[in-house]
Structure 1
Amino acid sequence: MWFNESSEEIVKTLSSDIINGLSSEEVKIRLEKDGLNKLQGKKKKSFLQLFISQINDIMIYILLVAAIISAIVGEISDAIIILFVIFINAIIGVIQESKAEKALEALKNMSTPKALVKRDGQIIEVSSEEVVVGDIVVIDAGRYIPADLRLIETANLKIEESAFTGESVPSEKNSDIIAEENNVPIGDQHNMAFMSTLATYGRGLGIVIATGMNTQIGKIAKMLDAEEENITPLQKKLAQLGKILGFMAVGISIIMFIVSMFQGRDFLEMFMTSISLAVAAIPEGLPAIVAIVLALGVQRMIKENAIIRKLPSVETLGSVNIICSDKTGTLTINKMTVKKYYVNGEINTLDEINLNNDESKILVHGMILCNDATSKSGVQTGDPTEVALIDVGNKLNIFKEDLNTSHERVNEIPFDSDRKLMTTVNSYNNAFTVFTKGAIDSILKISNKILVNGEIKEFTNEEKNKILSASNIMSDDALRVLALGYKNIENEHVAIDELEENLIFVGFMGMIDPPREEVKGSIQVSKNAGIRTIMITGDHKNTAVAIAKELGIANDISEAMSGSEIDSYSDEEFTKIVNNYRVFARVSPEHKVKIVKAFKSHGNIVSMTGDGVNDAPSLKAADIGVAMGITGTDVAKGAADMVLTDDNFTTIVKAVEEGRNIFNNIKKSILFLLSCNLGEVVALFVAILLNWASPLLPIHILWVNLITDSFPALSLGVDPGDKSVMDVPPRNPKESLFAGKMGKLLIINGILIGITTLFAFVLGEYLYPESLRHAQTMAFVVLSVSQLFYSLAMRNETKSLFQVGILKNKWLIASVLFGILLQFIIITIPFTAEIFKVYSLEFKDWVIVILISLIPFVVNEIIKIFFRMNERKK
């Protein structure tokens, strides 16, 4: 491990030179050996490949076979209609998927374009892609790290790693050896700097130990590249359904072939009848309708600030029962904020600060004057902890620019990580004042007096212990504590080594990256909906637990586990205990993936939220990855299934609610289509078994399946959501589409539609014995219109149409009226009547078929009365 070797040993191992760097010739050799310092990825899918992947489905294969057979036997119109729906379905899928898989591209683009390196004894600027292992890299504030480095020299160096480790504040770096041999989290490797992180303070020198795909960010890229695509529960169910219907279609065809042989029917007639039954068994429009309903759901979710990148993710949201959330920037605001302060022996919230007493006034002034950050009009520069101190003044209308003008800085000692102190000398009250801020123990060591209630007193050990206790109370709440001491001097020409001694202790401030205000309520809503929230962060355990307790995620530290503890378990052991924990702290990208997979192994549907580079592999490993749109990196957005445009955890809860409603609507559409198709199968199957003439022609069945059924199915897909959907636990993804009452209704209505169709056919034969076409037309109209009326009853499995509101789904009403109009046009216009081989019905015929068509709707409304009675009894 590079972090536990001395810089001299590493320089020797990599055959480099700290003073002169590598030679130009050596750089060329290493570039040829290792390649350019950039990330690699999979070759993108072409449009044709995307298109082919969309038709790689058992249901589509069956339809293609049906289209080919229809064309062979001369039913060209049937073949064209089948091919049309296949093409539309594939195009919809390609459009939705073509923008996916941008994560690796975003990772590549994060590489910094330029780097300062030592070569041939000179410091030169080169493209980051030309950096090689062994290069000596010069680091200064504001410059990105071009590759993974082992630090050789540092001077107050701080590196912003929040997108990489999840920590809220920049990491302090030095070149000291880390004693531990293994299992040191990335966030604790203080002598290492990693590719694509940002130096925010100080300067340093490092030697390149890894480039390109061998860097930590390269490992993330490999994990993204290797992670397989998840198949959603609905996709699995539809695939299973396709196989079942396929076998069913083949079975029906074989049975009909055998029956027809015994009946002595004509071979061609038998063949066409079998095809008709196969077509009746398969809902040809189902894939397209499900895709369109999902697409419409996506459009609705955009209005709720959630952008869905992959259509099936909408359905997955409805099954989510665990949300693994990154802390920094997701549950918190990603901005250090002062929450409490200590003066005069008391801890108070910042809202209670009183600038009329000297202690509070000096504390605020000193923290602002002894400060190199800026924060004005929403624009901040410098260390986040210093920015937080400036923001205290901004809140109190004490602005740094004004203070610096009236209290000019005349001398300073910059912050040093060894001293853990920063000191300035400012003109103050017609004299000069030394302000020193820093860690509480460092300030206590150099203070011999204390300011209490306007009086300067001797600083006793009892008083110091009291202050340490107060500091520990803040630390237990995960507050980062900074203390202030001061003293007045007669002139500015005091020796530097005398400035930081004999100070007067004033007080201290405690700051934290606080939770988002609305998140606590959202987590409670999630709990009520049976959804667990799990915090996963690169931050320290105490900080994570403090936030988790405040949000209601965890009760105490026993529910938290660190990354090093995760490493002590095998995958199997960790999977067994993972459900006992609610907080995972100090974790690496590999840990995040391990956690997500452990939860998934218990049958959970897991959502992972995040915004940093380090979140990308776990976002992709989860059933649904959710990236932050504002603070999120392009890498996270590219790997995610859903992107939040407002970075609001509450939006996730709204998206889950929308996902549940969308799935319910899709379920309605699927069951509506299957009921209708079952009705067609019943009508044909019974007629052929009874040796009747076929009541329906293949083109009739195709028309009903692809056109008449499609509009009501789509309208059911956009049915207004049920408000009580978040009062029930998440849907079991293994649960059948036909679970509960819906399966019973499917069978009842399939038989009902089939019987009413046969009844219309028999009645037509009775009324018009010389005209088979007339009877088939009546059966065709009843099959179509009965399904249209039946769709009105499908809006809710227990509530009547009048309870849910007749006009609340205006699209469904329009679909029913439009469907009846289409049937009227087809039958009435001679051209279409000839294509569909139908007879123009008279007025009395229309009255008869409309009355017969209302039977399934009326029966369903009566059945619901009994359902409601049973529910009331329970």
Structure 2
Amino acid sequence: MWFAKTKEETLEELGVDPSVGLSSAEAKSRLEKYGENKLKGKPKKSLISLFFAQLKDWLIYVLLGAALITLVVGEYVDTIIILLVVILNAIIGVAQEHKAEKAIEALQQMTTPTALVRRDGKIVEVPSHEVVPGDIVILDAGRYIPADLRLLESVNLQIEESALTGESVPSDKDADAIHEDPKTPVGDKSNMAFMSTLVTYGRGEGVVVRTAMETEMGKIAKILDEDTQDLTPLQRRLGELGKTLGTIAIAICALIFIIGWLQGRDLFDMFLTAISLAVAAIPEGLPAIVAIVLALGVTRMSKINAIVKKLPAVETLGSVNIICSDKTGTLTQNKMTVVKYFTLDHEAEVPNTGSGFEAAPDVKELIKTFVLCSDATYENGQGTGDPTEIALVVMGERFNLPREALHTTYRRVGERPFDSDRKLMSTLNQMEEGYRVHTKGAIDQILKISTTALVGGKIVPLTEEMKQRYLEASEAMSNDALRVLGAAFKTTDRILEPEEMEKDLTVIGFVGMIDPPRVEVKDSIHEAKMAGITPIMITGDHKNTAFAIAKELGIAESITQCMTGAEIDALTDEKFAKRISHYRVFARVSPEHKVKIVKALKDQGNIVSMTGDGVNDAPSLKSADIGVAMGITGTDVSKSASDMILTDDNFTTIVHAVREGRNIYENIKKSVIFLLSCNLGEVVAILASVLFFWPVPLIATQILWINLLTDTLPAIALGVDPGDKEVMKRKPRDPKESFFAHGAGTRAALGGLLIGLITIIAFAIGLNAEGYSLSAANIPAEALAHGRTMAFIVLAASQLFYSLAKRNNTKSIFQIGLFSNKYLIGAIIIGLLLQVLVINIPVLAAAFGMQPISLADWGTAIGLAFLPLIVNEIIKIFMRMREA
């Protein structure tokens, strides 16, 4: 219990002199002893275990079984093809998971990248993972704490500990305090500083007492280090599809073999045909295509600042209909900005861009006081220190009163630091003649300690009427969700003691400031609403402030749509769940409330995305369907608990990710429906010929060749189809929705029947050219080869052309752009060229049992092949008419 020890006891126990720090040799020795200062997650899986994990899928098991059967019957080429697809799928999955983990590791380093420590008597900057127990750490505003520290020195030190405590107000620290109660809460340990928290004000020093998993952060990380991920909707859909296809494949094998045996056909030929058709009935390209599409989706999303930790989470985004978002930094810019000022002579808005503006004399005095009574810095567009003070310094820059020039000209000679009880801060600066006190703080406190006011360039007595004007104006700003900060001054001819500064001041006026919304967020919220997604703001801010931002962004329309944490506590879980759909803003909430909100929303059947950055946000991130952690402000633990990380902490990125998720699902669905239609066509052609005692229009090698041709390039090209521009104008998809919903199954069946029918027709035309019909007996091999060549061309070409129809369910290929998917056009051209080569190269033609045909036959075959595409386009016309 380091918080119960004195500074001297702590230093003696750790064996370090604070004025010198550890020696380099001792630091190295302790690093070997204690290990690196990193939070440990679950043990990393080896590449081998990741590889085999990719094979744990029913569809993969069926494919492996098919590979074994083809091996037994001697179809070695087919065996190799199937195994290659399975291996490709596994390799892609391993590569993407490994890539995602690397991205996570890179993000984790953003939390505490470096630390200032005293070693060998010098202050040096070292990587935070090299900090060891006994290191003396130097603290100043804007720095993250690299490990748990026992403070040795604190000067106006304030640390933002919301990641641990959930308390949004920075904690005041006191190095001299000692807490003897062993049950002292983390938030009350004023003599300690904790890993991954942020210094917001003042300065200090501390000695490292705990590192890595022994820190407070590490303790929580251990509790959360569980892997209890549910299957996503896509995983469930594919699992069900795999079982169904496996069952169908086995049934087809048995049915065709039994019918052929009863008809007295050659059993071995029928067995080969049945097996080939069973393999064709299973779209073995599906696992690889899904993996490729998801992997490309993850890559695209990383370019829009969203890093997805697990591939299936991309698809889950497409079902999200509620986005719960933090306000600060996600919906807003996470930087306070002065937007208005008020003096008894002037009231105006502050320009939010540009510089070189002129100000009236009284406004200049107001700004000068604010800038001189601030410790923040602002250079080259970057500020350090308290966000409120940075905003005041930026205001000075806008009005030609830069901080550096003022602090150089009017040197500070004394100060009275900010105190949460007084709500004031004062500095004493040397002026041209004498000294001047500059005070800033709550306007009501400023008025209490002021006796005069600056009016018309003169100092006049402060009347009750003047006070009332100040209070009414400040109340108006507060009602607009602005944070009000007042300023006052007094001149003196001597250096005052701190206690003397805040008496008989001259009030100048005040400013109103706000953390403004991100410019692009309003459009993103509108887009989300158009897509049937409800944005909800969750914040620790006051109700009025939260509602003002929510109203401006279009999240809420009335204050009645806002609820506070206290109001949540007053309701039972059941009542809260029933009422939750009415609310759009939750203010003054704790991390515990976030979990309650997520559960209530999920109880109403919603698919919920939740953002968070603190350790205490981790439970709500895990409870949500999609937990979204902040990459900039987020803690290691929140990133570990999340499904996705935003590298820019921006709400707009979530909306972009949802759009990407929807398009990815649609592309996967296109590929699945296309593959099933094509494979159904093959089944129909073979099964019908067997049932009606006709010759089989395709032999085993021809079936497998066509299957290879259509199950690879065209299906993958559909999987990377450009996104539908109107995808965000539709409501979120029901996660329980089947791949075959909204008529997709009917259209797939119709497409398959058409493909099978025209294949048989082409076969009949080929036989007829040789003088035979389908029902003829003892058809010679040459006639069969002609008929099968025609069927072979039509079956392959019709599937290639049909892929164009599957790009959109209602729009014609000309509306979406015939050449807008260049990959698909390329796949069709390659497929047709391969068909020409197989038929016209004698060696290949002989191997596949085919023969060259005339140009007229080619014309007939290609004409038939266009029929499924044409029929599908006609159906779309009627669908568009019905929707109009």
Alignment TM class, shorter chain as reference: 0.7 to 0.9
Q: Give the superposition deviation at 1:212.
A: 5.4
1:563–1:591 contact (8 Å) kept in structure 2 = yes
Compared CA separation, residues 556 and 796, structure 1 to 2 (3 A): closer
Pick aligned residue for 1:414 from 414, 417, 424:
417
Q: How does 1:445-844 map to 2 (within 5 A)?
A: 445-489=448-492, 491-556=493-558, 558-562=560-564, 575-587=577-589, 589=591, 591-610=593-612, 618-619=620-621, 621-628=623-630, 641-644=643-646, 647-768=649-770, 769-771=779-781, 772-844=784-856
Pick aligned residue for 2:880 from 860, 868, 873:
868
Pick aligned residue for 1:400 from 394, 400, 403:
403
Which residue does the alignment assign to 2:775?
A: none
Pick aligned residue for 2:438 from 427, 435, 440:
435
Deviations 1:792-837 (A, max 9, x none): 2223323333343333333333322221111111122233234333
Distance 1:720 1:136 in 2: 54
Which residue does the alignment assign to 1:386?
A: 389
Distance 1:384 1:258 in 2: 79
Q: Give the superposition deviation at 1:89.
A: 1.5
Distance 1:18 1:871 in 2: 76
Q: How does 1:198-217 map to 2 (within 5 A)?
A: 198-202=198-202, 213=213, 216-217=216-217
Distance 2:795 2:45 in 1: 43
Distance 1:15 1:869 in 2: 78
Which residue does the alignment assign to 1:121?
A: none
SS state at 1:318 partner:
helix
SS state at 1:731 partner:
coil
1:486–1:506 contact (8 Å) kept in structure 2 = yes
1:183–1:567 contact (8 Å) kept in structure 2 = no
Q: State percent identity of aligned pairs.
A: 57
Distance 1:70 1:484 in 2: 86
Q: Give the superposition deviation at 1:325.
A: 1.6
* Cα RMSD after superposing both structures: 4.2
Compared CA separation, residues 37 and 722, structure 1 to 2 (3 A): closer
Compared CA separation, residues 148 and 599, structure 1 to 2 (3 A): farther
SS state at 2:503 partner:
coil
Q: Give the superposition deviation at 1:501.
A: 0.9
Distance 1:635 1:50 in 2: 23
2:196–2:635 contact (8 Å) kept in structure 1 = no
Q: How does 1:255-270 map to 2 (within 5 A)?
A: 255-270=255-270
Q: How does 1:306-317 map to 2 (within 5 A)?
A: 306-317=306-317
2:283–2:711 contact (8 Å) kept in structure 1 = no
- Flag structure 2 segments of 5+ consecutive residues without an equivalent: 17-30, 119-125, 771-778
Compared CA separation, residues 623 and 497, structure 1 to 2 (3 A): closer
SS state at 1:457 partner:
strand
Distance 2:178 2:363 in 1: 41
Q: Give the superposition deviation at 1:245.
A: 0.8
Distance 1:106 1:297 in 2: 19
SS state at 1:839 partner:
coil
Distance 1:109 1:100 in 2: 16
Deviations 1:599-627 (A, max 9, x none): 33433232334555655565555433445
Compared CA separation, residues 752 and 350, structure 1 to 2 (3 A): same
2:111–2:634 contact (8 Å) kept in structure 1 = no
- Flag structure 1 segments of 5+ consecutive residues without an equivalent: 1-9, 118-124
SS state at 1:776 partner:
helix
Q: Give the superposition deviation at 1:244.
A: 0.9
Distance 2:593 2:530 in 1: 29
Q: Which amino acid aligns with 2:456?
A: N
Q: Give the superposition deviation at 1:518.
A: 1.9
Compared CA separation, residues 472 and 565, structure 1 to 2 (3 A): same
Deviations 1:753-772 (A, max 9, x none): 11111222233334343123
Q: Which amino acid aligns with 2:363?
A: S
Compared CA separation, residues 38 and 503, structure 1 to 2 (3 A): same
Deviations 1:361-398 (A, max 9, x none): 21111111222221121232322221111110111121
Distance 2:105 2:218 in 1: 10
Deviations 1:321-355 (A, max 9, x none): 12222222211111121122221177542249996
Scaled by the length of structure 2, the TM-score of the pair is: 0.85
Which residue does the alignment assign to 1:291?
A: 291
Q: Which amino acid aligns with 1:50?
A: L
Give the stretch that moved more between structures: 573-582 or 64-73. Answer: 573-582
Compared CA separation, residues 766 and 131, structure 1 to 2 (3 A): same
Which residue does the alignment assign to 2:866?
A: 854
Distance 1:96 1:605 in 2: 25
Q: Which amino acid aligns with 2:537?
A: M
Compared CA separation, residues 571 and 251, structure 1 to 2 (3 A): farther
Deviations 1:204-255 (A, max 9, x none): 7999998755755235524652243353322221221111111111222233
1:139–1:145 contact (8 Å) kept in structure 2 = no
Deviations 1:684-707 (A, max 9, x none): 211222233332233322222222
Scaled by the length of structure 1, the TM-score of the pair is: 0.86
Give the stretch that moved more between structures: 245-254 or 858-867. Answer: 858-867
Q: How does 1:342-357 map to 2 (within 5 A)?
A: 342-344=342-344, 348-351=348-351, 356-357=359-360
Deviations 1:88-114 (A, max 9, x none): 121111111113346589669957988
Distance 1:566 1:101 in 2: 37
Pick aligned residue for 1:370 from 349, 368, 373:
373
Deviations 1:117-158 (A, max 9, x none): 9xxxxxxx99999988xx999985367546667989965221
Compared CA separation, residues 669 and 397, structure 1 to 2 (3 A): same
SS state at 1:98 partner:
helix
SS state at 1:799 partner:
coil
Distance 2:294 2:581 in 1: 32
Q: Which amino acid aligns with 1:251?
A: A
Compared CA separation, residues 149 and 628, structure 1 to 2 (3 A): closer
Distance 2:361 2:552 in 1: 33
The size of the alignment, in residue pairs, is 848
2:168–2:540 contact (8 Å) kept in structure 1 = no
Distance 1:165 1:476 in 2: 29
1:446–1:500 contact (8 Å) kept in structure 2 = yes
Compared CA separation, residues 90 and 136, structure 1 to 2 (3 A): closer
Distance 2:46 2:676 in 1: 35
SS state at 1:547 partner:
helix
Is 1:85 the counterpart of 2:99? The answer is no
Distance 1:788 1:354 in 2: 66
Distance 1:18 1:573 in 2: 51
Distance 1:112 1:525 in 2: 36
Distance 2:11 2:247 in 1: 69
Which residue does the alignment assign to 1:282?
A: 282
Compared CA separation, residues 387 and 782, structure 1 to 2 (3 A): same
Distance 1:856 1:747 in 2: 11
Distance 2:263 2:731 in 1: 54
Distance 1:449 1:321 in 2: 57
Q: Give the superposition deviation at 1:400.
A: 1.7
